[in-house]
Structures are given as C-alpha cells and as structure tokens.
C-alpha cells in the first residue's frame, strides 16, 4: 500500500466499480462495433443509442432461474465463476494510471495505482493463470461433455501460450530492469516506448494475449460451432454473466498490460495519465473486437503448433537478442 | 414477331442403352424378365434372385458406376378403385374422362402381379465423355416378406436408400450390414409408405410422460 | 459374365460395405462419446451425430436421421398433382424453386406436355436465383461453423435481395409455388428485368469480396485446405452430386450433362470444377457457381423469348383469370382442375434436375388418376450425409464441423 488504509480502500472500491462500469460500456461498444463490422446496427433500443443495453441485460440475467444441472458437482459448479471473476479483477488492480494526484480542495495526495509491487508483472501473470482454474473447474464440474471439452481446451491453450506470453514480457523486464509497473512506465517515459526495441516481443505478446483472453480467433474453449459454448455451456443467468465478465475483464487487463508494457502506460503529453491509459488500452481493445468481428476460428492443433513452433521460438529469440543488447550494447 | 411455342426438352436419360440391355440379357439369360422403353426411360426388370448379378454386370461391364437412387413402390390396389379415382373405359388420347386403368399396361406385365417394386436408377458417369451419360432403371418385383439381396457391396451409397426402403416399405435386404430404421423412430410399428398403412390419425406420442 | 465388353470399373478402393458408420478401431475405454445434435449450433437443423472422440480426434461417427421426417412423400400421394406442388419446396427449403421445377417436370413428362420457351427461361431464372439463395446461406452458415460470424450477416443481407426478386415476381419470398405444370403461374412484372439486373451487378461485386474473404484469409485456408478430401473415386462410389462431386473434379452437372434440360439446353454453361475435393474446394466451387448463376440469369434476361408463359392446354392448365367472367367453358375447366385435379397418364418417370445441392430427382408413378401413386424424391442431402463418417473420421472435431458445413446438407431435404 502506497497510501493509507482508508485511501486504499476507497481506491479499491472505486477501481472495481469503475472497472465494472467500463466493462458495461465496453460490452455496448463491442456490440455496436461488431454490428458496424457486420453491416447491421447493433443494440440501439434501450436508452439513447442503446447505451442502457448492459443494464437491461443485467436485469434480465439477474432474474434468470438458478439452475444446477443434475450431473454437476454443485460446490465446484458454484465456485468456478467466482474464481474466474476474482482473478480477473485482481489482476487489474495493479495497473498504474498515472503518478501522484491530490483530492481537489484538500491537500490529501494519493497515487493513481493501488500498489507499486516489485513483482507486479509476475502477479498479473499468476492471476491470469489462476483464472483458468475457473474455466477448468466450471468445465469439469458442469457434468457435461461439451463443458469438459471446453475446459480441456482452455487448459491446453493456457499451457501453450503462457510460456510464450511470459517470455515475450521478459524482454520488457530486461529493458526496464524491474518487474514493477511503475518502474516500467518510468523507464519508458525516460527513454522510449518499449514497442520500438521490443517489436517482436510486442507481436508475440499480442498474439498470446488474444489466446490468453480466449477471444476469437483463439476462442476454442467456447467455440460455439464445435463445443456449443464450451466450459460455460451449463451456466445460466448471472453465473454465465460472471464468466463473460471475467473473460472481458481479462481482455481489458491484457489491453492495459499491453499499454503499460509497450506504449508507456499513462505517460503522454497534454492529457492526464488516466485518459492516456484509457486511450491506449482502448486501442488494443478495439483490435480485440476487430479480430472477433472478422476472423474465422483456428483449429486446436493449429493453435498449439502456432504457440509452440512459432511464438515460443520467436519469444526466445527476442529474449536472447534483448539480453545481449542490454549486456553488451 | 413472337417466338413459336415449342417445348425445349425434358431432362433426357440419353438414348436408351439397348446395347447394354442386350448384353445383360445374354449374360443373365432368364434373369432378365422384361424391359420397356417409356418416355425415353429404359426399364429392365430382373428376377429378384439375379438382382445383384444384374447390378454387378451393369457396374463392372457396362460402366454404370453411379447409383442415383433406390426407390420402392407399393402397387397394392394399383389402378383399382382408389381414392380420387373414377373412370370410364375409354382408352387413348389424354382427356379428363379417360380411365386410369391403362396404367397396368405400362409396366412389365410379367412381373406386375407382385406387390412391391424395387428400382434403382443407375447412371453411366465416369466411363463416358461428359455429356453422354446414360441412365437405366433396374427393377425387380417382390411380394410381402420376400427378401432381396443388398446392393451395398456394389454401391456403398445404397446403404441409406435400402435402410429407407426397409423403414418405409418393409422390404428386407439380405446381407445389409445395418438394416435398421432410418427416418422413423426405432420403436415404430408398421411401414408408413405402404398403401395399407392407415392415414388420418396416429397416437399422440409421449402423452403419458406428462 | 459375358465377355462382350471389357471390364471398366477398377477394384474397390472405398471401404466396403458400410462407410456410413465408422467405429473406433481400438477398444480404448477412454473414448468420449458425445451427441452432436439434434440441438447443436452447427448441425444445420436437426441432424444428430453420435461422435466418438479420442481427445479431439473423431474416431467413430454415426448419423441419426429422421428428426424432421414429416412424410411429405406420403402426403403427396394424397394430393392432386397441382396441390402437391406446394409440398415439394418444403423439402429442400433453401433451394426451394428447384423442388417445384423437379416435380412439375416429372408431371409434364408423364403428361408429355410441352412447355413454352418463355416459361423454360423463366424457370431457369428462378432456379438460378434459388441456387444463389441456397449458396449464400451455405456460405454464411458455413462461415459461422468455422467461427467467422461476419460473413453470415453479409450473406443474409444479399440473400434478401434475391428474395426481393422472388417477392416481386411471385408474391412470396420463399416457397412461392410459382412453377406450374405447363409453365409458370404468372408472367414476370414490369420492371423485374431492371431490378434483376441491378441485383446481378450488385451481387457480382459482393461475390468478388466473398472470394477474397475466403480465398485470401490465411486462417480460412489453414482450416479448409486439405481437410475432408473426397477423392473422385470416393465421390462416385458414394453417389455424391452437385457441387460436392464437382469439387472433386468430376464434371457431373445435370445442367450440362446430356445437353442439360429446359432452357439450359440453349444456354452455354460450363460446370465449375474444383481440383482437390477438400473443404476449401467445396466452398470455392459454390462461390464460383454463384458467379455462373448470375451469368445464366443475365443470359436468360437477354434472351428471354416472347410468347406465352404457360402451356395452352386447358385440361391441365388453369384458364386465364379474365376468361372466368366471360366463358362458361373456362369456368368449368377451372372448377374441375381446382377441385379434382387433372388426370395424368399412367407410367413411371424419374426426372433428375440440378438443384443447389446436386441431383434432385423426382420419381413419380401415376396410375392414371389425379393423384400420384408414388412420389419419391432423390434427396441429395440424404445421400451426401452417407459420406460424412468416412470423410470426417480421423480428423479433429473442428474439422468434422467444417466438413459437415462443406457438404451442405439440408435436413428438410434429407428427412423429407
């Protein structure tokens, strides 16, 4: 905690709620954008421009009957969405949105990040992996074969892409000499955005991030044409919404991570830090949505071979070159 | 100046392949029971016992390599007093008041008395230049309960057709690897395409499950 | 066997006797058996596939059909010929007009009725339009099965333009019952040609972008090239027809075979052929067929002959509407045809035509009465599904979905 207990508590409360609000708006943005990509309108009936659509969806999902399938293992079945959502939100907590700010009208200063952990990157990666347990547990505990297949796919995907993902990030860590986000951002504003020296790492990171967040074209764990809805086939109502929520927040987290690691995070001229962060993360989110609207889905073995045969060597090469550059350059 | 009214054409079967018919007759002898050419369509009726032999001859020696279809028909009460039927005994010409009964003459008379016909439409596809395909209808006649040898060994695509024939008409194909119902549920009683299958009502399913 | 001719056909290469069911070769207790369908997003209706999975690989497959069996063939036997036309397009509901034409041509063959040239041309126009409709839906839903949702919306929008043309000419968007025995029900309205040409030029551009979308997308190519290969030998053995067999490189198209039928005899048409018979080729052939359909429609519009649109045979064809008010004889004819139908000479015919999914043959037996004695459809989807197990076994589950999409079954056509 870089601030006092109360400020941190308030910040935490605000962050979770802002994140949820952002998530709600982003679902609207996603649906509108995909509508535009697909020559239709998207939701436009509830409220102005359909802006209240997320709230209407929430109301609908909340009123759904709570169903636990007969073949399910109830405790694990109920636990799974929480695991996913908790990990997703927790990983977002360490994102830096700027430096020091003060509450208007007072002299209370606070930092625009929850904590400056010296293992922040590791923490985010770890929580991202833990979140997959929610998928696995949900897929297994549903007692449905489609769910099981989806859960299995999710884990296999995680195992293949976590390695390339982490190796791609280590290049940035070597440059920055720190695992702390605050240090990484500081390094970039002092020197240059890491996308320039780490372009290969950036590409590997982005591809792995799409796979990590289970988004198309790598959404094999919930491929609707094959395994119906994958691990959340048997979930309905808010439980399904929590999975969807976790998945989208993962996408937001990874967008924010990409912004922090490669585009200098909240640093930028003129605009305040949080806004820069929003713009940069929004750019990556747009790419996520764009991919979803346009690409077909890859096959399971193609995903694996891409991960192990292309991304992993590329990330390793990037790591070696970066290390050599830092040591001898 | 309006164009003259004239028909272009029906989809042709090609010229009737009478050469194949002759060779088949030589090969099978008495196995070929009858034949007719009606509206460009060559129908060869064979003895049910020589059904597979005839198909094998046509496939292997005449090049009829493509099984379009296997159709069965139930001729029970054909040209008799059927629903919507009334007739006079005036033959010839096509008018409203003509009898339906001259249909009897249009099918091979020697085998007609049996109840079911099984026909397969064979096509010469790969063995001719494109555009000179020939079709032939290989036909046989069965009574209720008679078995027919399966064509699955010759034409794998006969599988579903024969299952459907069994399902709908109740014709059993000896040697078929998986002769079970295909369209109707497995527990179904009766064969719906038969002419004596009652129409106009059926029990409501699953009504005891409420 | 008589040695009057040489043996033509080579030895069996396709596993015999029944590749329509595949069983796992090993007795592995860890196999997962799942039911794809009857309620599944990508079974195109209510097809049920019983799949045995070894991990992600399909090792056993069995089709369960009959979920939309509605006894249409039996129903047709209870209807007079001219009422039965309405039933037929409900089978293959995507290429609906082909069904009407097949039934009407079979009836005309029994009647030996001559159809005016203009009617034949109009039939070709609407057959090709319904082929376009079917292929557009095929492309859209097939794309969804492969995970690309955008193409679905593009294709469904374009499909609506095609249906607009149907609505303009026939009053119905689907299942128009526009084809009559003897011709078509009505002449095309004023302005139809102009609108049709607009739609054609619009669709030409769209099809160009679909070619790019599926032909140049690396993920699409990865997913489809070399998957579910149907060798020519296999395609003939399993009696595949339509785009499926043409994707394997066999030029079997009833529109050009033996000179074609109807107005196709006067139009130059070359079948579109694929090279490899894989999923990609089956998609590609259909997209190219959309192009050739547009060319055919345009050629028909260019060469549309003047003259009557329906045969002038008052025993079969309904009299013109205006005569009902002036001519007693016409009124009687109208009454007789509508109430009891027309008698059709006895005989049996099999009339195959080329629908969007292949050889769509109608087998009719008439006993000389006003109702068909036996009506039988040769369902292309039914036949094509036989090959699914042999094609998909050994592939990944995702490939099974791609192969199923690419052979384009319509369950209404399959189960009837």
Q: Which of C19, C32, C53 is nearest to C401 (CA)?
A: C53
Q: Which of A243-252, C10-19, C263-272 has the least mean pLDDT?
A: C10-19
Residues of B in contact with C238 (CB under 8 A): 156-157
CB spacing of C365 vs B106 below 8 angstroms: no
Question: Does residue C1 surpass a pLDDT of 70?
Answer: no
Question: Does residue B87 surpass a pLDDT of 80?
Answer: no
CB spacing of C18 vs B103 below 8 angstroms: no
CB spacing of B101 vs C257 below 8 angstroms: no
φ/ψ region of B136 (left if φ > 0, alpha if ψ in -120 to 50, else beta) reads beta
CB spacing of A149 vs C32 below 8 angstroms: yes
Quote the CA–CA distance of B86 and B71 in Å, as a whole number: 27
For chain C, what are the domain ranges? Answer: 72-415
Question: Does residue B93 surpass a pLDDT of 50?
Answer: no
Quote the CA–CA distance of A138 and A120 in Å, as a whole number: 27
For chain A, what are the domain ranges? Answer: 5-328
CB spacing of C217 vs A296 below 8 angstroms: yes
Nearest CA in chain A to C151: A38
Query: Which residue of B6, B69, B112, B155 is the best one to mutate when testing the C interface, meaning the one whose CB has the most C CBs within 10 A?
Result: B69
Quote the CA–CA distance of A123 and A132 in Å, as a whole number: 15
Model pLDDT, residue C130: 92
C233 contacts C240 by C-beta, under 8 angstroms: no
Average pLDDT over residues C20-41: 79
Instruction: Give the CA angle between residues C85, C91, C95 to the nearest 5°.
Output: 90
Model pLDDT, residue B209: 63
DSSP assignment string, C344-401: --SEEEEEEEEETTEEEEEEEEE-SSSSEEEEEEE-HHHHHHHTHHHHHTTSBHHHHH
Least Cα separation, residue C395 to chain A (angstroms) = 11
pLDDT digits (tens, 9 = 90+) for C307-332: 888 888 778 888 888 888 888 888 88
- For B140, residues 6+ apart whose C-beta sits below 8 A from its C-beta are B45, B46, B47, B48, B51, B111, B117, B118, B119, B148
Q: What are phi and psi of C263, to 5 degrees?
A: -70, -10
Residues of B in contact with C252 (CB under 8 A): 66, 125, 130, 133
C19 interfaces chain B, CB cutoff of 8 Å: yes
Residue A6: CB atoms within 10 A of its CB come to: 9
**In percent, how much of chain C has pLDDT > 90?**
13
Return the HEC string of B98-111.
CCCHHHHHHCCCCC
| Chains A and B in direct contact, meaning 3 or more beta-carbon pairs closer than 8 angstroms | no
Quote the CA–CA distance of C4 and C10 in Å, as a whole number: 18
Residue B199 lies in a domain: no
Quote the CA–CA distance of A59 and A55 in Å, as a whole number: 6
Question: Does residue B95 surpass a pLDDT of 60?
Answer: no
CATH of the domain at B177: 3.30.460.80
**In percent, how much of chain C has pLDDT > 70?**
95
Q: Which of C152, C217, C222 sits opposite A302 (nearest CB)?
A: C222
- Local confidence band at B202 (pLDDT 50, 70, 90 cut-offs): low
Residue B49: CB atoms within 10 A of its CB come to: 11
CB spacing of B177 vs C18 below 8 angstroms: yes
Q: For chain A, which residues score pLDDT lower than 50?
A: none
A294 interfaces chain C, CB cutoff of 8 Å: yes
Residue B119 lies in a domain: yes
Query: Which residue of B8, B28, B116 is the best one to mutate when testing the C interface, meaning the one whose CB has the most C CBs within 10 A?
Result: B8
Under DSSP, the state recorded for C182 is T
pLDDT digits (tens, 9 = 90+) for C338-397: 887 887 877 888 888 888 888 898 998 887 777 888 889 888 989 888 888 888 888 888
Least Cα separation, residue C372 to chain B (angstroms) = 10
Least Cα separation, residue B159 to chain C (angstroms) = 7
The rounded radius of gyration (Å) of the Cα atoms in chain C is 22
Residue holding tokens 């039934």? C103
Query: Which residue of C268, C343, C385 is the best one to mutate when testing the B interface, meaning the one whose CB has the most B CBs within 10 A?
Result: C343
CB spacing of B5 vs C73 below 8 angstroms: no
Strand-strand pairing, B147-149 and C179-180: unpaired
- Local confidence band at B79 (pLDDT 50, 70, 90 cut-offs): low
Neighbours of chain B (3+ CB pairs under 8 A): C
Q: What are phi and psi of B68, to 5 degrees?
A: -70, -50
Residues of C in contact with B63 (CB under 8 A): 8-9
Query: Which residue of C367, C370, C381, C415 is the best one to mutate when testing the B interface, meaning the one whose CB has the most B CBs within 10 A?
Result: C367
Least Cα separation, residue A299 to chain C (angstroms) = 6
Neighbours of chain C (3+ CB pairs under 8 A): A, B
pLDDT digits (tens, 9 = 90+) for B165-184: 998 888 888 888 888 888 88
Q: Cα separations (Å) of B61 from B50, C7, C51, C359?
A: 16, 5, 39, 24
Model pLDDT, residue B3: 42
φ/ψ region of B131 (left if φ > 0, alpha if ψ in -120 to 50, else beta) reads left
Length of chain C, in residues: 416
Average pLDDT over residues C7-32: 62
Query: Which residue of C144, C147, C212, C400 is the best one to mutate when testing the A interface, meaning the one whose CB has the most A CBs within 10 A?
Result: C147
Nearest CA in chain C to B107: C347
Helix, strand, coil percentages in chain C from 3-state DSSP, rounded to 5: 50, 15, 40
- Local confidence band at B94 (pLDDT 50, 70, 90 cut-offs): very low
Model pLDDT, residue C134: 92
Q: What are phi and psi of A318, to 5 degrees?
A: -60, -40
Q: Which of A34, A294, A296 sits opposite C223 (nearest CB)?
A: A296
Nearest CA in chain B to C121: B8
Written as six digits, the tokens of B59 are 């496939």
pLDDT digits (tens, 9 = 90+) for C141-167: 888 888 888 888 999 999 999 999 999
Q: Which of B8, B75, B84 sits opposite C120 (nearest CB)?
A: B8
Nearest CA in chain C to A153: C56
CB spacing of A217 vs C147 below 8 angstroms: yes
> Helices A237-262 and A53-62, interaxial angle, to 10°?
140
Residues of A in contact with C145 (CB under 8 A): 225
Residue B60 lies in a domain: yes
Burial label, A189 (beta-carbon count in 10 A; 0-12, 13-18, 19+): middle
Map residue C58 onto helix, strand or coil. strand
Q: Which of residues 152-171 of C touch B (CB under 8 A)?
A: none
Q: Which of B79, B99, B152 sits opposite C18 (nearest CB)?
A: B152
Q: Which of C14, C308, C415 sits opposite B5 (nearest CB)?
A: C308
Interface of C with A (CB under 8 A): 32, 34, 40-42, 53, 56, 143-150, 152-154, 157, 217, 219-220, 222-223, 396-399, 401
| Owning domain of residue B45 | 18-186
What does pLDDT average to over chain C? Answer: 85
- Local confidence band at B82 (pLDDT 50, 70, 90 cut-offs): very low
Q: Which of residues 262-281 of A touch C (CB under 8 A)?
A: none
For the domain covering C72-415, report its CATH number: 1.10.645.10
Model pLDDT, residue C199: 92
């Amino acid at each position: 905690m870089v601030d006092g207990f109360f400020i941190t508590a308030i910040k935490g409360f605000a962050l979770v709620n802002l994140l949820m609000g952002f998530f709600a708006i982003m679902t609207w943005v996603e649906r509108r954008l995909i509508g535009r990509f697909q020559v239709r309108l998207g939701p436009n009936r509830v409220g102005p421009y359909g802006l209240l659509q997320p709230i209407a969806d929430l109301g609908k999902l909340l009123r759904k009957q709570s169903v636990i399938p007969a073949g399910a293992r109830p405790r694990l079945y109920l636990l799974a969405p929480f695991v996913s959502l908790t990990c997703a939100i927790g990983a977002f907590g360490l994102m830096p949105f700027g430096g020091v700010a003060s509450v208007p009208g007072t002299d209370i200063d606070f930092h625009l990040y929850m904590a400056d952990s010296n293992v922040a990157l590791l923490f985010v990666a770890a929580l991202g992996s833990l979140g997959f347990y929610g998928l696995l547990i949900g897929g297994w505990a549903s007692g449905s074969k489609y769910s099981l297949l989806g859960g299995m796919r999710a884990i296999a995907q995680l195992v293949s892409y976590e390695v390339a993902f982490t190796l791609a990030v280590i290049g940035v860590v070597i440059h920055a000499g720190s695992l702390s986000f605050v240090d990484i951002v500081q390094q970039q504003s002092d020197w240059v955005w890491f996308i320039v020296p780490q372009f290969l790492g950036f590409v590997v990171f982005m591809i792995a991030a799409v796979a990590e967040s289970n988004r198309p074209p790598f959404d094999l764990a919930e491929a609707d044409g094959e395994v119906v809805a994958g691990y959340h086939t048997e979930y309905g109502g808010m439980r399904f919404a929590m999975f969807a929520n976790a998945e989208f927040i993962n996408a937001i987290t990874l967008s924010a991570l990409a912004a922090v690691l490669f585009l200098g995070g909240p640093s930028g001229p003129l605009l305040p830090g949080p806004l820069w962060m929003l713009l940069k993360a929004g750019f990556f989110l747009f790419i996520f949505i764009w991919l979803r609207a346009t690409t077909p889905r890859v096959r399971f073995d193609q995903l694996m071979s891409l991960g192990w045969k292309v991304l992993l060597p590329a990330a390793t090469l990037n790591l070696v070159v970066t290390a050599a550059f830092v040591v001898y350059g | 100046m309006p164009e003259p009214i004239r028909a272009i054409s029906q989809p042709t079967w090609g010229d009737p392949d009478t050469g194949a018919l002759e060779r088949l007759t030589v090969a099978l002898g008495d196995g070929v029971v009858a034949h007719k050419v009606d509206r460009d369509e060559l129908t060869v009726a064979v003895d049910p016992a020589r059904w597979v032999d005839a198909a094998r001859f046509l496939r292997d020696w005449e090049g009829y390599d493509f099984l379009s279809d296997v159709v069965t028909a139930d001729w029970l009460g054909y040209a008799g007093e059927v629903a919507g039927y009334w007739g006079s005994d005036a033959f010839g010409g096509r008018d409203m008041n003509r009898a339906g009964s001259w249909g009897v003459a249009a099918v091979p008379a020697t085998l007609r008395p049996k109840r079911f016909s099984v026909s397969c439409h064979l096509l010469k596809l790969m063995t001719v230049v494109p555009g000179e395909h020939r079709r032939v209808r290989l036909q046989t006649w069965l009574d209720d309960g008679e078995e027919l040898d399966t064509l699955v060994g010759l034409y794998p695509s006969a599988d579903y057709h024969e299952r459907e024939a069994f399902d709908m008409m109740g014709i059993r194909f000896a040697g078929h690897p998986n002769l079970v119902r295909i369209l109707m549920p497995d527990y179904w009683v009766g064969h719906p395409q038969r002419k004596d299958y009652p129409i106009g009502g059926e029990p409501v399913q699953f009504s005891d499950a409420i | 066997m008589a040695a009057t001719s040489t043996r033509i056909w080579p030895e069996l290469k396709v596993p015999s006797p029944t590749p329509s069911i595949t069983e796992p070769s090993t007795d592995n207790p860890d196999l997962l058996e799942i039911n794809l369908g009857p309620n599944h997003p990508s079974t195109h209706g209510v097809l049920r596939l019983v799949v045995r999975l070894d991990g992600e690989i399909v090792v056993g497959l069995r089709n369960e059909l009959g979920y939309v069996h509605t006894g249409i063939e039996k129903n047709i036997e209870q209807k007079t010929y001219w009422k039965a036309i309405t039933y037929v397009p409900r089978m293959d509901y995507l290429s609906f007009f082909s069904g009407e034409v097949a039934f009407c041509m079979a009836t005309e063959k029994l009647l030996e009725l001559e159809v005016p040239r203009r009617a034949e041309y109009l039939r070709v126009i609407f057959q090709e339009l319904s082929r376009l409709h079917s292929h557009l839906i095929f492309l859209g839903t097939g794309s969804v099965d492969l995970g690309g949702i955008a193409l679905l919306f593009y294709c469904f929008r374009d499909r609506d333009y095609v249906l607009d043309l149907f609505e303009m000419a026939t009053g119905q968007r689907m299942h128009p019952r526009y084809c009559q025995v003897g011709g078509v029900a009505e002449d095309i309205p004023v302005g139809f040609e102009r609108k049709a040409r607009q739609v054609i030029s619009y669709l030409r551009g769209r099809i160009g972008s679909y070619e790019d979308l599926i032909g140049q997308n690396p993920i699409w190519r990865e997913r489809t090239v070399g998957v579910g290969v149907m060798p020519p030998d296999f395609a003939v053995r399993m009696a595949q027809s339509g785009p499926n067999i043409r994707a394997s490189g066999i030029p079997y198209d009833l529109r050009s075979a033996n000179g074609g039928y109807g107005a196709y005899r006067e139009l130059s048409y070359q079948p579109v052929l694929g090279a490899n018979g894989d999923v990609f080729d089956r998609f590609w052939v259909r997209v190219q067929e959309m192009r050739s359909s547009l060319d055919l429609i345009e050629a028909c519009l260019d060469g549309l002959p003047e003259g009557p649109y329906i045969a002038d045979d008052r025993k079969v064809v309904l009299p013109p509407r205006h005569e009902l008010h002036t001519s007693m004889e016409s009124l009687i004819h109208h009454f007789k045809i509508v109430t009891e139908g027309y008698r059709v000479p006895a005989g049996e015919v099999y009339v195959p035509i080329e629908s969007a999914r292949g050889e769509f043959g109608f087998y009719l037996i008439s006993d000389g009465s006003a109702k068909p004695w036996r009506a039988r459809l040769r369902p292309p989807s039914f036949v094509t599904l036989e090959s699914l197990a042999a094609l998909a076994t050994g592939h990944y589950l995702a490939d099974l979905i791609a192969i199923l999409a690419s052979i384009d079954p319509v369950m209404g056509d399959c189960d009837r």
